[in-house]
Amino acid sequence: MSSGSGHGEAAAVPPGWLLALHSSTDTLGLALQAPYALGQEPPAPQLAAFPLGRALSNQLLDCVEALLPASQWPQLGRLAVATGPGGFTGTRLTVVLARTLAQQLGLPLDGVSSFQLIARRLLAAATAARDQPFWLVQELPRRGLVAGLYRADVAVAGGVAELSAPRLYGAEHQFAEPSHPAVPLLPDDVAELVAISRARAAAACEAPWATVLPLYPTSPVHGG
């Protein structure tokens, strides 16, 4: 495993399979990227979406094993997980599972906010302008607005920089930059998670499992 840090397209290719998990919505998204040789075009990942809702806690492992049986988990080379914002219980379950697997198997773990995945998808679809920062905003009834600030950046592994991580703002907060609704889409967003993790591996970015935590904004702020 590469332990250096850096950005950009480098020669390193993650050994083994890459498993990505996303449960920041009522739908569990999973993706499995097969290993590929240096210089090859990465094969399309296997994608799966399971609308589990509250059944996630009981069916998470079954769904993962449907994609990659537990007997094959030692063949994994890297893990990635969406850290939220989203439902606390659902997001926490996949983060805990990913951290546990990474610790026990000695694997790097990429934690990426679900908003950053949306931002990458919007940039790829030209929904968001590439030449200026933009906010992704999600309304929480009776709570306020959860928002994060993003911008296209070729110097960042994955091509999108998170300028301000998602946090809770007051319901009347006005954003200076353009904004877009933060609407997750699965399994599309877990495919973006695979792409970011693959880019981070190629750039030899450090990915310690211990620093990956669920993101669940709770306190409104009124500053920009």
CATH number at residue 84: 3.30.420.40
Q: Which of 162, 216, 179 minimizes the C-alpha distance to 24?
A: 216
Q: Could you tell me if residue 32 is inside a domain?
A: yes
Q: Could you tell me if residue 221 is inside a domain?
A: no
Phi-psi sector, 148: left (phi>0), alpha (psi -120 to 50), beta: beta
Q: Which of 152, 140, 41, 11 minimizes the C-alpha distance to 86?
A: 140
Give the helix/strand (H/E) hosting 165.
strand 160-169
Q: Is 142 helix (H, G, I), strand (E, B) or coil?
A: coil
How far apart CA 79 and CA 67 sit, in angstroms, is: 14
Q: What is the pLDDT of residue 87?
A: 82
Q: Could you tell me if residue 5 is inside a domain?
A: no
Task: Look at the chain and report how many structural domains it folds into.
Answer: 1
| Locus of tokens 């999108």 | 160
Q: What is the pLDDT of residues 173-220, one digit of tens each?
A: 999 999 999 999 999 999 999 999 999 998 999 999 999 999 987 655
Contact 186, 25 (CB under 8 A): yes
Q: What is the pLDDT of residue 9?
A: 37
Q: Could you tell me if residue 199 is inside a domain?
A: yes
Q: What is the pLDDT of residue 38?
A: 67
Residue range of the domain that includes 58: 17-211
Question: Which residues are registered as beta bridge partners of 152?
Answer: 160
Q: Could you tell me if residue 222 is inside a domain?
A: no
Q: What is the pLDDT of residue 80?
A: 98
Structure tokens at 5: 């840090």
Q: What is the pLDDT of residue 220?
A: 53
Q: Could you tell me if residue 3 is inside a domain?
A: no
How far apart CA 70 and CA 121 sit, in angstroms, is: 30
Report the greatest alpha carbon distance in the chain.
51
Q: What is the residue-level pLDDT of the chain in tens, covering all 224 positions?
A: 333 333 333 334 446 899 999 999 999 999 999 988 767 788 899 999 999 998 999 999 999 999 999 999 999 999 999 999 988 788 999 999 999 999 999 999 999 999 999 999 999 999 999 999 999 999 988 889 999 999 999 999 999 999 999 999 999 999 999 999 999 999 999 999 999 999 999 899 999 999 999 998 765 554 44
Q: What is the pTM of this model?
A: 0.89
How far apart CA 20 and CA 130 sit, in angstroms, is: 26
Q: What is the pLDDT of residue 12?
A: 40
